[in-house]
Amino acid sequence: MADKKEVLRLQELAYQERVNLCKLCESYDGNIHMGGDMSMTDVLICLFHHTMIVDPDNIKMPTRDRFILSKGHGAVCMYIAMALRGFFDYDEIVRTYGKLDSAYGQHPCKVRLPGVETSTGSLGHGLSICVGMAAAAREAGQKHRIFCMMGDGETCEGSVWEAAMGGHALGLGNLVAIVDRNKQLMTSFSEESMKMESYADKWRAFGWNVIEIDGHDMNEIVDTFDNLPSSDSDVPTLIVSNTVKGKYISFMEKQIKWHAGSFSKENLDQALADLKAVFEEQKKEAQLCQ
Ligand SMILES: Cc1ncc(C[n+]2csc(CCOP(=O)(O)OP(=O)(O)O)c2C)c(N)n1
């Protein structure tokens, strides 16, 4: 069972992450992929602040876990999660995000940002890269894990399923892929276009150890990552993280137009009020459990 204090600490970080994203969305002169950022926030926070062995003061530590944001359009969500962990400076992100020559591009670039393992943005490539990294770690006798975050829409790319076959064939138990299953693509709901269900069964058929979770329930997220199979086991793990696009923002949840957008002052005020109400509830629940 997840430790309640730790869960509340992570919920507070997820709250800060969402608040920071919302503030940036109001100040930035352009669109931000808010919908999918809000859906993957809780899992990203658990990974960077609880699960992964990483050290912002020693970013090249050979034993570190590796994280690849295959849904690279969610870059700023990753930048902020990493800033909260001490990798980057949030003020610099706000000042430079998306501007010409900024290190904080709309898609992550490993050349400009030490600590980012791989440049992504063209969907469908992250899992193949992760299979290679996991196989290389195996070959070198290393024990760290490779984590890959994909969008469910992204898994419409055939290359994902080639990588899924490869990960299984190579017996890569050190590979953990997460699909942010928010059931929305860029301009449609997934079941109205690609009919992905029964989604988890597809991965099972490819030989993966599949775990389905509520990707907004921090207790369940922590429990799941705390109980991953050992990295030297021989079956890769796929976590279907069932989420809601735009989670916790009243005017954004499940709205197709909020794949990406920008905030007015009124939007920001509403979003901050929505988030505060949710976090107050989470704090109350934590007190009841004490
Ligand atoms: C190869 C490729 N095709 C198209 C795009 C444009 N694109 C950016 S986000 C997106 C939708 C992705 O949906 P999903 O993976 O479900 O992400 P989420 O809904 O979680 O944001 C598309 C098609 C891209 N980045 N790369």
Residues forming beta bridges with residue 47, ordered by sequence position: none
CB 184 near ligand 1, within 6 Å:
yes
Q: Give the 3-state secondary structure of residue 72.
A: helix
Size (the chain), residues: 290
Tell me the pLDDT tens digit for each residue of 169-228: 999 999 999 999 999 999 999 999 999 999 999 999 999 999 999 999 999 999 999 999
Does 71 contact ligand 1 (Cβ within 6 A)?
Answer: yes
| Alpha carbons 183 and 212: distance in angstroms, whole number | 14
pLDDT digits (tens, 9 = 90+) for 146-179: 999 999 999 999 999 999 999 999 999 999 999 9
Q: Ligand 1 pocket: which of 123, 189, 255 to mutate (most atoms <8 Å of CB)?
A: 123
Distance CA 163, CA 131 (A): 7
Q: pTM here?
A: 0.98
| Cα 288 to averaged position of ligand 1 atoms, centre (Å) | 40
Residue whose C-alpha is closest to residue 263's, from 279, 251, 245, 255: 251
Q: What is the DSSP letter of 48?
A: I
Query: Taking the CB of residue 65, how many other CB atoms lie within 10 A of it?
Result: 20
